[in-house]
Structure 1
Amino acid sequence: MHIIEVFTKGKHSEAANEDGWIVTNDFAAVIDGSTSKVEFRIGNKSKGQFATETIREAISHLPSNISMSEALLYLTEALASAVPDLLHKEAAYRLTCSAVIFSKQRKELWFIGDCQSRFCGITHTHPKLIDTLLTQIRCDIVKYALKKGYSTNELLKNDIGRNFIFNELREQCHFQNDTNPANIFRYPVLDGTPIPPELVSVVSVSDAKQLILASDGYPRLFDTLQESEDYLERVLSQDPLCIHENPATKCLIEGNSSFDDRTFLRLSINDSTL
């Protein structure tokens, strides 16, 4: 397993980047720390950064032949023990991140949340239903504001669409790792609470020679970093409010380089292809 190309960039600054990645002899992963919905930091780090760093360190200690369900327990305990007091606060305070993890021994991808992957010409994404609904609401609000005379620049400075859905973005944290199968809005994340294994997608990569892992900061994945970056640049130029080509729960805020942090990792997972 060898790195072909890797890139990570924070939407606002490198110091504030909540994405991360790791490649070991047996595992590769991209990790996406969740944007905090509450004012809370751990030292000089955001909750998302702290969660990403905790999981990255924990992955480096995973046994090579560990199963998905065993890995979930190990990574969950790593977060739970990092700042135990947060588990007793409301869900929005938990250390939270998503991840896509490749197990070399098992030739499997484990999708915990909304990170993505691409191999053999197919992109695998796992969007949350609640995000899809809130995205639509935000986009409708922004479109309405434009019709009422708001300029694009005004909305890039003050995203009233995101302001409108912000309380719901915070409240959706209660759906994290919900064990109730009747809850259509539940979704898996790493947050120190038990993850229902049935919520984690497992995809075989036994036929793949190359593998791309990425956070959801890329609206569309291509087979190379340059193609993925070029598409992102075009989309941000044409749709900075993120309401048409790249509908999202947030826009390209003035002064930022993108609508979200982003990480792209391309690997050769078959040494004979080098």
Structure 2
Amino acid sequence: MRISSTTQTNFIAVIDGESAKSSICFDGQAPGKLAAQMIQQVLADLHPRASWDHFIQEVNLSIQDYYALKQTDPKLKAVGLQAVAVVYSRQRQEIWLIGDCQALVGGQHYSQPRPADQILAHMRRLIAYTEMRIDHKAPDSYFAQEDSAHLQVLPWLVRTSEFANRTDTPYGYAVLNGDPIPADLIQIIPVDGKDSVEIVLASNGYPELAPSLEASESQLQALLAQDPHLINQYIATRGQGQFASFDDRAYVRFRV
């Protein structure tokens, strides 16, 4: 996870590395973390007037060069360097929503949830309720040791990487992974430069994105207190587990 801003504030971004789906590391780092670092460096070096497609090209070159240098097996791409991002370009006065990050622009919410993740979240819920019924366990007891339902959908989370950056399927989604991303999978949000507008950029670790960090955190904590396993109010592919929340989160608010 990265919150990135160049020295001249030409770009402000939230960069969210993909959650690890295997034990494979790259140079001792989780692939999502390394991908986020690469993207942050690309933004730092990017021309202030660069377009969204040029940004993606530069990210892809960085990832491809890394794979070539390390002679990485192409089969590892499904669990390799992957990240999503939401980027504000000050010079172009627009926001690039690439993947399942989210934004608030003048109070209007923008997001791009992955279709397959939504299905697999409900599949995890079905597995959990079925096994709890069979084993006569309450949710806290069932999830006490490990999230068995998440482990069962995890292979499918890896398999659905087949839909990355594809438009020939209803399950296509955008991700920065070294491959071209079709324009149809990216949201470009114009920001009117005539009137002052407040912008929030965030990762998908906030099920409800509010106009302030305090309100977003408060809503998240209320959800986790009522549904820590995320099988009732907010259906997800994994629950809170032993962590502070179910996913990494980053939040940045500014006015232009």
Residue pairs, 1:155-234, within 5 angstroms: 155-178=143-166, 181-206=167-192, 209-234=197-222
1:241 aligns with 2:241: no
Offset at residue 208 of structure 1 (A): 5.2
- Give, in whole Å, the separation in 1 of the partners of 2:144 and 2:210: 27
In structure 2, the residue matched to 1:59 is 43
- Pick closer, same or farther for the CA change 1:258–1:117 going to 2, 3 Å: same
1:69 aligns with 2:53: yes
Q: Secondary structure at the match of 2:45?
A: coil
- Give, in whole Å, the separation in 2 of the partners of 1:151 and 1:48: 34
- Give, in whole Å, the separation in 1 of the partners of 2:165 and 2:145: 34
Offset at residue 242 of structure 1 (A): 0.5
In structure 2, the residue matched to 1:96 is 82
Aligned AA for 1:58?
V
Q: Secondary structure at the match of 1:146?
A: helix
Offset at residue 204 of structure 1 (A): 1.1
1:39 aligns with 2:23: yes
Q: Secondary structure at the match of 2:250?
A: strand
Q: Which has the higher contact order (CA 8 A, sep 6+)?
A: 1
Offset at residue 201 of structure 1 (A): 1.0
Mean CA deviation greater in 195-204 or 108-117: 195-204
Consecutive unaligned residues in structure 2, runs of 5 or more = none
Alignment check: 8 A CA contact 1:225 1:264 kept = yes
- Give, in whole Å, the separation in 2 of the partners of 1:73 and 1:170: 24
- Pick closer, same or farther for the CA change 1:47–1:209 going to 2, 3 Å: same
Aligned AA for 1:200?
I
In structure 2, the residue matched to 1:22 is 4
- Give, in whole Å, the separation in 2 of the partners of 1:71 and 1:237: 40
- Give, in whole Å, the separation in 2 of the partners of 1:93 and 1:128: 17
Offset at residue 119 of structure 1 (A): 2.0
Offset at residue 69 of structure 1 (A): 1.4
- Give, in whole Å, the separation in 2 of the partners of 1:51 and 1:157: 31
Aligned AA for 2:133?
K
Offset at residue 93 of structure 1 (A): 3.1
Consecutive unaligned residues in structure 1, runs of 5 or more = 1-18, 270-274
- Pick closer, same or farther for the CA change 1:156–1:246 going to 2, 3 Å: farther
CA RMSD of aligned residues (A): 1.5
Aligned AA for 1:257?
A
Mean CA deviation greater in 75-84 or 64-73: 75-84
Q: Structure 2-normalised TM-score?
A: 0.92
- Give, in whole Å, the separation in 2 of the partners of 1:22 and 1:138: 33
1:132 aligns with 2:118: yes
Alignment check: 8 A CA contact 1:108 1:205 kept = yes
- Give, in whole Å, the separation in 2 of the partners of 1:26 and 1:146: 51
Q: Secondary structure at the match of 2:15?
A: strand
- Pick closer, same or farther for the CA change 1:128–1:87 going to 2, 3 Å: farther
In structure 2, the residue matched to 1:151 is 138
Q: Secondary structure at the match of 2:232?
A: coil
Aligned AA for 2:247?
D
Count residues in correspondence.
Answer: 248
